[in-house]
């Protein structure tokens, strides 16, 4: 009977790292999508950008937990940015070592400002999470006053802005990747809040079935867009659908993991241990693979290898380099008492 009283959303905390690992590998698979046709595997690969939606969903979830700790806004920023910037800057330096660059480019990339002012940037993801982290302490104060209203309002405003860019044919470029991900970040915070509520309280109880139904709806709309409405995909509409899909899929995967662990612990360990390993360095792997080695996969005709062999070799190199960067940064932070 006690198991029936467990909050169904706490399972996300248990399997957060394996989910991050799956998300990182999904993004890497996305980088192979040019080699695949639109069969089932191809469809999964072509939507691998949604691994970032999983990152942001779990980030929002984790930030809500962090907000429950006694800390000042400055302490919150310090902890978040120490996690982000050391590996981020080290990977930028690695990229400069391999490809060259100048001081201005480094300053724009390392500060993350370049992304927002159409100057050189090191991808969009870190620039986006820096802004989300900066806004979070202020957002959470409003959120606590009315969690449901704050979440719905944030989601609708973000969706409204994105849809407005379609209607008025206003091209915001790669910044679209940021604005279209605000809903999933806000929902991650909301689910973190739900995981801390008393499930006996009907006023705050939201059944997981709601998220499963939204996932089914989102997947159905995504399938339609991939098969019948190419213009919807061309304007980035498919990217927006993942705020419906990701929460239910994450909950579903976590429950599958728990089910397999109870009945086939050895098989579960074969899946969860590698995914947890990848999950601990997901940020480093994402940046190393996408920003450093992915261009070699696509734009290096001088590397005379089969495209799949090239993809797998550079993916393995990405994992090794990401692991080394993660270990070096962890050791350095421990020495100065920040880890």
pLDDT tens digits for range 72-91 = 999 999 999 999 999 999 99
Neighbours of 27 (CB within 10 A): 23
- The reported pLDDT for the residue numbered 63 is 96
Residue-wise pLDDT tens digits, 204-213: 678 899 999 9
Q: What's the total number of domains in the chain?
A: 1
Question: What average pLDDT score do residues 298-302 get?
Answer: 59
- The reported pLDDT for the residue numbered 11 is 95
- The reported pLDDT for the residue numbered 98 is 87
Range of the domain at 110: 2-335
Q: Is pLDDT at 132 greater than 80 in this prediction?
A: yes
Structure confidence at residue 3 as a pLDDT band (50, 70, 90): very low
- The reported pLDDT for the residue numbered 257 is 95
Question: What average pLDDT score do residues 162-175 get?
Answer: 81
| pTM score, whole prediction | 0.92
Of 150-154, 268-272, 285-289, which gets the smallest average pLDDT? 268-272
């Amino acid at each position: 009977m006690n198991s029936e009283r467990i909050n169904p959303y706490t399972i996300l905390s248990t399997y957060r790292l394996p989910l991050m690992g799956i998300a990182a590998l999904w993004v890497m698979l996305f980088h192979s999508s040019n080699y695949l046709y639109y069969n089932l595997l191809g469809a999964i690969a072509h939507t691998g950008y949604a691994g970032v939606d999983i990152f942001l969903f779990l980030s929002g979830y984790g930030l809500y937990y962090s907000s429950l700790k006694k800390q000042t806004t400055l302490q919150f920023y310090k902890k978040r940015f120490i996690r982000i910037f050391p590996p981020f800057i080290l990977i930028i330096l690695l990229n400069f070592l391999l490809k060259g660059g100048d001081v201005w480019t480094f300053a724009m990339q390392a500060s993350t400002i370049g992304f927002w002012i159409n100057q050189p940037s090191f991808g969009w993801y870190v620039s986006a999470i820096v802004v989300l982290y900066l806004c979070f302490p202020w957002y959470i104060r409003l959120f606590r006053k009315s969690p449901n209203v704050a979440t719905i309002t944030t989601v609708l405003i973000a969706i409204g802005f994105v849809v407005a860019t379609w209607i008025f044919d206003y091209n915001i470029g790669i910044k679209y990747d940021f604005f279209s991900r605000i809903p999933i970040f806000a929902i991650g915070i909301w689910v973190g809040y739900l995981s801390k509520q008393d499930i006996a309280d009907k006023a705050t109880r939201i059944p997981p079935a709601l998220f499963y139904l939204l996932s089914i709806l989102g997947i159905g709309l995504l399938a339609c867009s991939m098969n019948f409405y190419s213009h919807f995909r061309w304007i980035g509409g498919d990217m927006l659908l993942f705020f419906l899909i990701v929460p239910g899929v994450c909950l579903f995967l976590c429950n599958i993991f728990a089910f397999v662990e109870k009945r086939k612990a050895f098989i579960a360990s074969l899946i969860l241990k590698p995914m947890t390993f990848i999950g601990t360095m997901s940020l480093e792997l994402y940046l190393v693979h996408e920003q450093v080695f992915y261009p070699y996969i696509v734009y290096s005709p001088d590397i005379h290898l089969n495209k799949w062999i090239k993809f797998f070799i550079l993916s393995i190199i990405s994992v090794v380099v990401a692991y080394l960067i993660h270990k070096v940064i962890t050791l350095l932070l421990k020495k100065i008492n920040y880890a």
